[in-house]
A and B are shown apart, each in its own frame.
Chain A
Amino acid sequence: MSPEIGLNHYLLLGALLFVCGAVCMAIKRNAIGVLMGVELVLNGATVNFVAFARFNPTFQVEGQVFALFVIVLAAAEAAVALAIVLNFYNNHTTVDVDTAEELKG
């Protein structure tokens, strides 16, 4: 690997964030832990967007604009998900995702 920091270095970092988020979503019992995994996945995607904006001249504005949209939508998603978690906690007095099986067929 070249000593010069290129696109691939940033993409590898984004992939690491994505994998951490995916594993976090899979193994956390706490609903808020699952939400943290989603935030990590979205951050990995944002790192990729900004890295492409830096290293690809045809994408220099689009990458940053998409990154801004991802950040804003992640904030909105966190707000709604926390509202749902609070509602679930009010009804069941737990945030364990394994107990959320009322809709199971």
Chain B
Amino acid sequence: MELNTLLFYILAAVTGFCAVAVVITQNIVRAAAWLLFTLAGTAGIFFLLGADFVGATQLLVYVGGTLVLVVFGVMLTAQGPFVSMRVGAAEWAIALGVGLLLYGVLAVTLIQFRGPDAAQAGLAEDQLPGSVVLGQALLGDRLASPAGNVTGIPGTGYGAAAGLGAASAAPQVTVRPRERVAYLLPFEVVSVHLLVVLIGAAYLARAKRRRAPAGGLRPGEGGVSA
């Protein structure tokens, strides 16, 4: 058995098992711990897929940032040492049924789906875009996938100019000269979005001052912080 295959099965088993454990555990602190292992396993899957930068970002942002935030939320809202909210047996049965049904539908669809095969369409290890390519794509300095037609600009591409019909729209390996399409605008939108989220979260979670009943605080009285 090849090393990649073995690694995939180990990582997939860890990730899947921890994801199921997040669902079935009753203790919210343990759910956070299982979520930690799920996210770390997903980062391992990204490394296995050759997406080094995405895997590193997953570790930094998710495991290092979001999960710490979640654990702080658990601690700040805990009524007792072990917060557990019971779920009834009937609810478990319904959830199990719905979950298995949903996964069955997805799995059957995926097995019937004939995607690009690993042998014929998979990229070699040295063809995978590294973090330099990702940075250039985000900054608008470089065309995105050279073989790609996902941006869907009609009529101006190499295929239309060379008289290739729409019937031969299968993945072209030729580099098409086209407009510069990259991800500078979404990058900026996301950065502004993060600023808005920062302000909004700080505003929502601020320490409140209880209003005086007559409306408004009189000078010198001061509010009692909630």
Contacts and interface: CB of A to CB of B under 8 A. Distances in A.
Interface in B1-49: 1, 4-5, 8, 12, 15-16, 19-20, 22-23, 28, 31-32, 35, 38-39, 42, 45-46, 49
A86 B87 contact: no
B168 interface: no
Contacts of B4: 5
A11 B49 CA distance: 12
A22 B96 CA distance: 11
B49 A7 contact: no
B23 A24 contact: yes
B102 interface: yes
Contacts of B8: 5, 9
B56 to A, nearest CB: 11
Nearest to B114: A8
Interface string B191-220: 001100110111011001000000000000
A58 B148 CA distance: 4
Q: Interface residues of A toward B: which range? A: 35 or more
A54 to B, nearest CB: 5
B103 A43 contact: no
28 contacts: A3-B5, A5-B4, A9-B12, A15-B110, A16-B103, A17-B38, A20-B99, A21-B19, A24-B22, A27-B23, A30-B85, A32-B74, A33-B28, A36-B22, A36-B31, A43-B62, A50-B54, A53-B49, A58-B148, A58-B149, A60-B127, A61-B145, A65-B144, A72-B190, A84-B204, A85-B77, A87-B204, A90-B208
Interface of B: 1, 4-5, 8, 12, 15-16, 19-20, 22-23, 28, 31-32, 35, 38-39, 42, 45-46, 49-51, 53-54, 57-58, 61-62, 65-66, 69-70, 72-74, 76-77, 79, 83, 85, 87, 91-92, 95, 98-99, 102-103, 106-107, 110-111, 113, 115-119, 121-123, 127-129, 133-134, 137-138, 144-145, 147-150, 171, 173, 183, 186, 190, 193-194, 197-198, 200-202, 204-205, 208, 226
